[in-house]
Structures are given as structure tokens and as C-alpha cells.
């Protein structure tokens, strides 16, 4: 026989024969799809009844698991009848206490095509255009993680991780070549899709920022940088890499166009007259302000203090869960912003900490500011299950030296 069935496993699970399609989106039991998927994934061999019983009912004590499996297999074959294939009952065979895919029927899967295209692209070392075409075909096949509706099942996890690794490799290799050939539109499309599947892969954002810089969208590049740094701090508790920081500095240096009218420049620099509280800034900018302040007090002899405020769990005195922590940090940011002087500056230092710069203060007044913040926070949000800890330290004066900004 020469019958061919096309199967997708990236994202939605489907089987297609001619114009007929069945999908795991239809309203059938989870076990029906699990059994069918497992048989197809392991279609090169017959799977024993014991293996299938362990897969499907490992946490139950069925009195007659073999008969239960037979009933479920009957439901699988009934599902396959929706393909309008007259020999659908023979698509899965039974032999010597095991079930397996009928090798008379050709089963073409997206995962096999994906691997074939990657293999061919690896062999292509001379023709970049052909290599790009092969990688784009492979990338287009990846429409979601392997059997994503079964993502938490133990047998799916290692296979899914394997294909995720392959997909990431394809995307980053493709992105590198597209960037080198200045194919920015294709590069942006590839990265934007990949971010949906891998939202914490920093290199994807780096390529997107580079695309925005190269196409003259500097403000959008800066906005994306801020989004990425906030995302990574909130979700992972990490600060930007050196490569991402370098891009940020490049954008900041080139974002302004020449302006000959000083009044226009002054108007842009003037603060909004609305009361927006003190200044929240990126950590890199905060470091610059800190260094300027240390030089200023070195010249004037005044004293300034640094205050570190940390959010910890009330019961464990450790970092709270992500949900609680994110709410607490958002709340604390608002508390700081509207309860210290409008000229002061603060930044997020780590996943559970803010740094506040308190110019022209004494040790006593710096501690009073910190205690006031804690009091306001607790008064406005008494039910949040966290506590705040703080420490203050005087800024060390520095001698006047050239400082690049």
C-alpha cells in the first residue's frame, strides 16, 4: 500500500489524510489522544500492553487493566475512522501482546521533517542563500512546543526539551546569518515568533534591538530595552548582560538629532510641572548619579547616604513567592516614588531590593526617611504577607575626576 498520513506534533497534534483531519482540539478524552500520540511517536516498534498500562494508569489500581486498554484502543480506532480512510481499523495493529503502527502506511511527521532540514542545513557550508532557505523551512515547522497539551507529562518532557533545544539552535543560527546579510524584516519576524515560545532568551531581544537600531527606530529600541530589563528582573531576578548594556549605551549616545536652538533643547529638558514624585531610573543611570554625588560631596564637604530596602517573606525571612514578590515590589516602588523628595533618585537593584540615593542627609535623617517609608507602606498595605528591611550607609566622597556619561 502507498497510503500517506501527515502528522503534526509541534503545538497542536493532528493527523491528516487527503482532505480529512483529526486533531487533539476535538472533544475526546485525554487518554484517547495520549494513547494515539504515544503509538505514533514510537511507531518504529510495537509497544507492550504493560508499557501502555503504566503510561495511562500508573496512579490507579484497575482490576482489569488489559481489558480497559482494549476498550480505550477501540475508542482510538473509532477516532481514526474520522479520517474517512476505509482501512482505518488496520492503522494500529495488535501483535503478541503489543500495539504498533502499521508500517504499510507511511507516516510523515513534522518533527522528522524538522530534523531532516536541520541536517541538510548543517551540510550546507558554501551557499548562504540555500542555508537560509533550509533554516527558514525548519523554523516554519515549529508551531509550538512538542505536544504542548501534554507538556507536563513525564514521557513528553525530555522529547519536548530536545526539540526546544534544536529550535533555539535553528533560530539563533538563522538570526546570525540574516543579520549578517541585513535581512532585517525576516530577522525581526523570526525573533518575534521565537520570543512567544522562549520569552527569556536574551539573544533574541538583542537581535531585535539591533534591527531597530539599524532601521533607525532608536526610541523603539530604547523602549524594548526597558521592557526586557524589567521582564528579566521581575521574572528571573537577573540584570542585563554586558552585550545588552552595550547596546543600551549605543542607543542613548545616538538617540538625539542635532538641534541648534538652545531654547528648544531647554524646553525638552524642563521637567513636567505635574507632581510625579521622585525619579526612578535604570541601574546604569543610577550608578552615574551616584558617582556624580560622591564627587559633589567631595567638593562641598556635605554628607549623603545610600539606602537599601529589601522585601522578604514575613514567615521565612527569605524572598517571597514570585506572585507575592511582584505585587510587593510594585507597591514599594509607588511608596518610594511619592514619599521622598522629588529630587531624589532610586532604582531596582535586585529581584527584591530597591536602592535610594539621599543627598544632603545625615545618618539620623536617612534612617528617619527609611522608617517613614516602611511606616507608610505598612499603613497603606497592611495585609501583604511580607516585611521590609533596610540599611543605610554614607556615600564616600571622591576627588574630582573626568567622568564619562
Q: What is the pLDDT of residue 370?
A: 93
pLDDT at residue number 307: 94
Cβ 35 vs Cβ 73: under 8 Å: yes
Domains of the chain plus CATH, in order, are 4-104 (1.10.10.10), 199-253 (no CATH), 279-394 (3.30.70.270)
| CA 38/CA 36 separation, integer angstroms | 6
What is the pLDDT at residue 400? 56
pLDDT digit string (tens) for 132-155?
999 999 999 999 999 999 999 999
| Among 356, 340, 368, 369, CA closest to 395 | 356
Residue 52 · residue 99 · CB < 8 Å: yes
pLDDT at 265: 61
- If one counts every other C-beta atom within 10 angstroms of the C-beta of residue 307, the result is 23
What is the per-residue pLDDT for 391? 94
Cα separations (Å) of 247 from 25, 91, 250, 324, 327? Answer: 43, 55, 5, 32, 30
Residue 401: per-residue pLDDT: 56
Q: ∠118-166-238 over CA atoms, to 5°?
A: 145
The pLDDT tens digits for 57-84 are 887 777 788 999 999 999 999 999 999 8
Burial of 36 (0-12, 13-18, 19+ CB in 10 A): buried
DSSP3 helix / strand / coil % (the chain, rounded to 5): 55, 15, 30
For residue 246 the three cell numbers come to: 552595550
Q: Which residues on neighbouring strands pair with residue 5, listed in sequence order?
A: 107
Pairing of strands 106-109, 4-8: parallel
On whether the CB atoms of residues 343 and 359 are closer than 8 A, the answer is yes
The neighbour count for residue 275, using CB atoms within 10 Å, is 7
Cα dist. 303→342, 359, 393, 401 in Å?
19, 7, 11, 19
DSSP string, 14-48: EEEETTEEEETTSS--HHHHHHHHHHHHTTTSPEE
Q: Are 72 and 32 in contact (CB under 8 A)?
A: yes
Does residue 49 contact residue 35 with C-beta atoms inside 8 Å? no
Put simply, whether the predicted model's pTM sits higher than 0.85 gets the answer no
Query: Which three cell numbers mark 241?
Result: 548582560
Block mean pLDDT (10 aa), the chain, length 405: 86 93 86 95 95 88 85 93 88 94 94 97 93 97 95 95 97 96 96 95 96 92 91 85 89 69 66 65 87 86 92 79 86 90 88 92 92 89 81 84 52
385: Cα within 13 Å, side-chain hemisphere: 10
Q: Give me the half-sphere count of Cα atoms (radius 13 Å) on the Cβ side of residue 325.
A: 20
Model pLDDT, residue 347: 93
Three-state SS across 327-392? Answer: HHHHHHHHHHHCCCCCCCEEEEEECCEEEEEECCCCHHHHHHHHHHHHHHHHHHCCCCCEEEEEEE
CB-CB neighbours of 31 under 10 Å: 16
Q: Which long-range contacts does 230-239 make (Cβ < 8 Å, 24+ apart)? A: 231/199, 231/200, 232/200, 232/202, 233/348, 233/350, 233/351, 234/326, 234/329, 234/351, 235/200, 235/322, 236/200, 236/351, 237/350, 237/351, 237/352, 239/283, 239/350
Amino acid at each position: 500500500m502507498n497510503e500517506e498520513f501527515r502528522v503534526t506534533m509541534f503545538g497542536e497534534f493532528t493527523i491528516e489524510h487527503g482532505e480529512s483531519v483529526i486533531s487533539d482540539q476535538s472533544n475526546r478524552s485525554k487518554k484517547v489522544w495520549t494513547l494515539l500520540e504515544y503509538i505514533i511517536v514510537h511507531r518504529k516498534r510495537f509497544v507492550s500492553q504493560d508499557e501502555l498500562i503504566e503510561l495511562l494508569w500508573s496512579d490507579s489500581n484497575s482490576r482489569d487493566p488489559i481489558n480497559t486498554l482494549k476498550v480505550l484502543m477501540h475508542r482510538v480506532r473509532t477516532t481514526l475512522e474520522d479520517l474517512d480512510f476505509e482501512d482505518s481499523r488496520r492503522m494500529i495493529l495488535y501483535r503478541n501482546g503489543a500495539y504498533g503502527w502499521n508500517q504499510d502506511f507511511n507516516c510523515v511527521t513534522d518533527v522528522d521533517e524538522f530534523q531532516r532540514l536541520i541536517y541538510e542545513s548543517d551540510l550546507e557550508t558554501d551557499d548562504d542563500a540555500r542555508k537560509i532557505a533550509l533554516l527558514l523551512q525548519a523554523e516554519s515547522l515549529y508551531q509550538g512546543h512538542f505536544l504542548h497539551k501534554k507538556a507536563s507529562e513525564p514521557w513528553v518532557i525530555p522529547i519536548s526539551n530536545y526539540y526546544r533545544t534544536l529550535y533555539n539552535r535553528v533560530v539563533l543560527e538563522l538570526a546570525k546569518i540574516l543579520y549578517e546579510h541585513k535581512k532585517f524584516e525576516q530577522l525581526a519576524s523570526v525573533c518575534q515568533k521565537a520570543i512567544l515560545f522562549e520569552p527569556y532568551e536574551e539573544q533574541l531581544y538583542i537581535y531585535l534591538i539591533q534591527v531597530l537600531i539599524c532601521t533607525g527606530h532608536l526610541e523603539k529600541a530604547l523602549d524594548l530595552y526597558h521592557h526586557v530589563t524589567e521582564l528579566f528582573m521581575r521574572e528571573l531576578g537577573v540584570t542585563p548582560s554586558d552585550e545588552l548594556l552595550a547596546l543600551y549605551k549605543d542607543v542613548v549616545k545616538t538617540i538625539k538629532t542635532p538641534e541648534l536652538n538652545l531654547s528648544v533643547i531647554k524646553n525638552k529638558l524642563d521637567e513636567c510641572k505635574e507632581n510625579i514624585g521622585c525619579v526612578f531610573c535604570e541601574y546604569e543611570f543610577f550608578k552615574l548619579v551616584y558617582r556624580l554625588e560622591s564627587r559633589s560631596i567631595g567638593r562641598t564637604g556635605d554628607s549623603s547616604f545610600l539606602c537599601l530596602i529589601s522585601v522578604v517573606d514575613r514567615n521565612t525571612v527569605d524572598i517571597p513567592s514570585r506572585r507575592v514578590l511582584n505585587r510587593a515590589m510594585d507597591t514599594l516602588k509607588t511608596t518610594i516614588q511619592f514619599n521622598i523628595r522629588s529630587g531624589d533618585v532610586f532604582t531596582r537593584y535586585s529581584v527584591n531590593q530597591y536602592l535610594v540615593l539621599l543627598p544632603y542627609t545625615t545618618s539620623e535623617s536617612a534612617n528617619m526617611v527609611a522608617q517613614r517609608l516602611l511606616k507608610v507602606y505598612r499603613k497603606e498595605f497592611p495585609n501583604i504577607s511580607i516585611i521590609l528591611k533596610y540599611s543605610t550607609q554614607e556615600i564616600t566622597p571622591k576627588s574630582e575626576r573626568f567622568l564619562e556619561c
